[in-house]
Structure 1
């Protein structure tokens, strides 16, 4: 019986068993430790609501009469009458 032999290199790279050490420290927090964080103490004094900290704005209403000004003056030119029914 014949055995198959391969001279090609493996297609997947060899992964080192130990990860290289980094120079930056890090902390790993598990899900159990993270869920325990709501037990932190709250503020020593009650926090006021936003409505209590922002003063209301003072509003003033006044009626003002503003005359409407024309933007175009009508021009009458007898040499070129414009009648929309004739166009």
Structure 2
């Protein structure tokens, strides 16, 4: 079964409120089977639009595990803390076998 990669592009508009997400989000992702590979480090656009303020990459054992994590009560609680504090795009991409 191929692994899956959760890719999030994040622009924080309210750092104080976003701290509430950060207090819950990473732990929920790890509890859901995720391995944080990149979390807001430097990025550069080689083609296309400029990168978001933060780009996050998380590896999951499968697409199903990534989706289940996103839908979990723990991550739902984290998302509620993030509401209004950031613009977020999340993709889940299946890896190669």
In proportion to residue count, which structure has more strand?
A: 2
TM-score category, normalised to shorter length: under 0.3
**TM-score normalised over the length of structure 2:** 0.17
**TM-score normalised over the length of structure 1:** 0.19
Whichever of the two has the greater Rg, that structure is: 1
